[in-house]
Structure 1
């Protein structure tokens, strides 16, 4: 099953490009952040026009509007729960596995409005919500995917601390499923996004989904703000070759001549595509 996430920065000028991308990668489930709710019908009409039929439908997430979810009509997906305005849960029934997978689209608090300390505090509520939903679905079957704009890099404290996402870069560590700290157990997520760092990373010429070049003495330039993390029991179904930060749609580059993201024509984020064989 192919998934696509893109924070489109409230722009309505490249719906056609999204449709092309969905067709090229045969996307089953699409998650769009910062798409205005009153735009979803127009958006769907552009996407479905590529097929001449109603191939994709909107999957409502209660009153939650931060990330809008669209799926092929034959996908067995329903909204499950929500927490405030930052995360929602959807059940995807897998015919091959004969069980539900929980998808958590997320749009976390941004760095401009919230300090690192505040982000660190607020991630704990997100983690608590995820675990509560997992326990209501099936306590012994943690089969979850969390995807979205985390507004964090994989190495930042909210992503790696036990009371945060507890997401590790090493699948062999993640496959241990949990660890104890001061007699309390904490379950892992596996974070494959670490593989994009550096010139020899999965991204080739790009090392992130967001680019920032300020006149600061300390600057990362590339940031991996848009991520997908998975529970260890899904690692065997995760397609490493299907994980991609998209930089080109058809023949149109999403980057400018300087290697920066072309935020004039498109968004200030790059789209993230991944595949889970469920």
Structure 2
């Protein structure tokens, strides 16, 4: 399964590029922040090329989801994140935090991240699964403490390190 996340930055003329990207890369799930284009137009462009894609409803205004997967279960929507269960076992969380340029104080951002992490952990406990994918626009630099700190996402911003086996 291939995922595509993109902050389209309210570009209402992005569907041609999106549809080509989806087709060329055989994308299964598309997650878009700040998507302002016509969703029906995107779905029709894909259908014209024999790609059946659904728009998943009940998402945040800031995040739109499309995909080829039929077994998607709603878990949580907020202004900053959505959580879905894919095929009864995998957890997908898409995040779109406010930009530091326009918004929150760092304390508010940390409150949002704490809540998102708690929501993910609750779903992981419920499903007894750690098959969790977190994607999105964190609006944070890759080495900010909010991404690499164990209290938050404990992310590793180096692909080669992230894919190493645990010892």
Q: Same fold (TM over 0.5)?
A: yes
Structure 1 residue 126 displacement after superposition: 1.4
Aligned residues: 163
Of 118, 130, 135, which aligns to 1:147? 135
Extract unaligned runs of 5+ from structure 2. none
Q: Select the structure with the greater relative contact order (CA < 8 A; seq sep ≥ 6).
A: 1
Alignment partners' CA distance in 1, 2:71 and 2:17: 25
Paired position in structure 2 for 1:24: 24
Q: What are the within-5 Å matches in structure 2 for residues 190-269 of structure 1?
A: 193-195=157-159
Residue number in structure 2 paired with 1:50: 49
Q: Give matches, 1:1-278, under 5 Å.
A: 1-36=1-36, 39-51=38-50, 55-60=52-57, 62-72=58-68, 75-93=69-87, 100-112=89-101, 113-138=103-128, 141-167=129-155, 169=156, 193-195=157-159
User: Is 1:106–1:149's contact at 8 Å kept on the other side of the alignment?
Assistant: yes
- C-alpha distance in 1 between matches for 2:111 and 2:83: 21
Unaligned runs of 5+ in 1: 94-98, 170-192, 196-201, 203-229, 237-278
Instruction: Please tell me whether Structure 1 or Structure 2 has the larger radius of gyration of its CA atoms.
Output: 1
Aligned structure 1 segments of 4 or more residues deviating by more than 4 angstroms: none
Corresponding position of 1:184: none
3-state SS of paired residue (2:61): coil
Q: TM-score, normalised by structure 1?
A: 0.53
Measured in 2, the distance between the counterparts of 1:76 and 1:143 equals: 18
